[in-house]
Amino acid sequence: MARSSQSETFYELVTSRLVDSSNSHDESLADANDRQDTRDAAYFTNKLRHAVGWLCIVYWLADFLACSILWQLSGMDLTQLAPKKFILNSSAAVTTFGMTFLLLRFRYIPILHKVLLCLLISMLASPVYLSVELLMDAIQKYPDPLEIDFNAAGNTLTYGSSAFFGWLCLFVALLYNFEVRDRERSLAVVREEALTAQMRALRYQVNPHFLFNTLNSIAGLIEEGSATRAERMVLSLSTFLRATLSLDPMHDVPLADELALQEEYLEIERERFSDRMEFTIDMPEEVRSALVPSLILQPLIENAIKHGVGATVGKVEIALRARREADRLRVTVENDMPVRDEGVKPAGMGVGLRNVAERLRARFQEEGSFSSGPAAPGRYRASIDLPWRLA
C-alpha cells in the first residue's frame, strides 16, 4: 500500500510537470498566433495599397488616353487640351487615394450600403474636380477675369462624379477580390492549425497506465534495494518523455530515428520484463530511411507488451517488420498472446491503437491505413500502411 501511495504521488508530480509544460507551450503558441495575425493584417494592407496605387495610375491614364483619342478624332487641338487634362487627372488621382482609404474604413458594411456610400463620396468629390479645372482656366486667362460657363461646369461635375463613382466601384471589386483571397488563405491556415492541433492532441496522449506502471516499478526497485536498475529506468523514462514532448507532430522522421526513439521506451520495459521479452527487428536497409510520423510505432509496441508480455507468464516474442511494397511502406508489429476461447474478443483494441488509426487518417486521409487483429492462434498483428517517402 505504501509503495502504491508513493507511486501515485510521484505520478501526480510528473503529470503536473507535463501539464505545466503543455500549458506553457499553449501560451507560447497563442502569442505566436497573435503575432502572426498582426503580420497577416500588415501584409494584407501593404498588398492592397500596392494594388490600389497601380490600379489608380492605370485608371486615370486610361481616362487620359481615351479623352485624347476622342479629341483627336473630333479635330480638337490636343496641344491645349492634353496638358490641362493631364494635370486634372493627376489631381483626381490624389483625390482618389483619399476617397479610397475613406471607403476602406467602411469595408465591413453591407454591399448595398457600400454602393450608396460610393455614390455619396463621388458626388462630394466632384466639386474638387471642378475647382481644379476652374483654377486652371483662371490661370490660363489671367489677368482677364474668368467667366464661368455653368453648362460646362455642370458637365464637368457630372463627368467627375461619374469617373469617381466608376473608380470606387472598381475599388470595391478589388477589395472584394482581396478579401476572398485573404479569407481563403486564412481558412487554409486555420485548417492547417486545426490539423496540427489534432495531430498534437493525438500524439500527446501518453498512456497513463504505462506511466503509472513504470513509476510503480521504479518504486518497487527502490524498495528492493536495486538502486542501479531504478536509476537506469528513471533515466530512460526521462529521455523518452523529453523526446516525445520536443518532437513536432507535423514533421515526419526517418524510420531509423523512430526506432532509435523506441529503444528508449524498450529500455524501460526491459527493466520490467527483461527475462520474458524478446524483441526482434526485420527490415531491409533501404527501408530505414523511409519517412513515418513521429511516435507512430510507440502505441503498437506498447500494445504488444501490455497484451502480450503483460498478459502471459512465459516468454513472449515481439517482431517488428517493415517492407516496401511498390510505392507503399508496410510496417507490422506481431506478438505472442494467450490463446483465448473462440468468440472471445482479443485485447488490444483500446485507445492506443485507435490513436494510431486517427493519426494516420488525419495525416494521410485515404492514403494511410491501419489494421489489427489475430494473425494466428496465440498471435496478434498490428499493421500500418503508408505512402512510400524518403528522407
Domain positions in the chain are 34-198, 205-387
Q: Are 122 and 164 in contact (CB under 8 A)?
A: yes
Does this model's pTM top 0.85? My answer is no
Report the interhelical angle of 150-203 vs 78-104 (nearest 10°). Answer: 40
Backbone dihedral region for residue 387 (phi beyond 0: left; psi -120 to 50: alpha; all else: beta): beta
Nearest to 245 by CA among 22, 30, 28, 29: 22
| Beta-ladder partners of 322 | 331
Write the CA distances from 356 to 259, 309, 351, 382, integer angstroms.
16, 21, 9, 10
Q: Are 293 and 256 in contact (CB under 8 A)?
A: no
pLDDT of residue 102: 85
pLDDT of residue 44: 61
The separation between CA 135 and the C-alpha centre of its own chain, rounded to angstroms, equals 56
Q: Are 337 and 305 in contact (CB under 8 A)?
A: no
Per-residue pLDDT tens digits of the chain, which is 391 residues long: 444 454 455 445 545 554 454 455 455 445 545 555 565 556 567 787 888 888 888 999 999 899 889 888 888 887 878 888 888 888 888 888 888 888 888 888 888 888 899 999 999 989 988 888 888 888 877 888 878 888 888 898 999 899 999 989 898 888 888 888 888 887 887 777 776 666 566 555 555 666 776 787 788 888 888 888 888 888 888 887 787 777 766 678 999 999 988 888 888 888 777 778 889 999 999 999 999 988 888 888 888 888 888 777 788 899 999 999 999 999 999 998 887 655 555 554 567 788 788 888 888 888 999 999 888 888 899 999 999 999 7
Give all strands of the β-sheet with 277-282 in edge-to-edge order: 277-282, 316-325, 328-336, 379-387, 369-376
CATH architecture of 205-387: 2-Layer Sandwich (3.30)
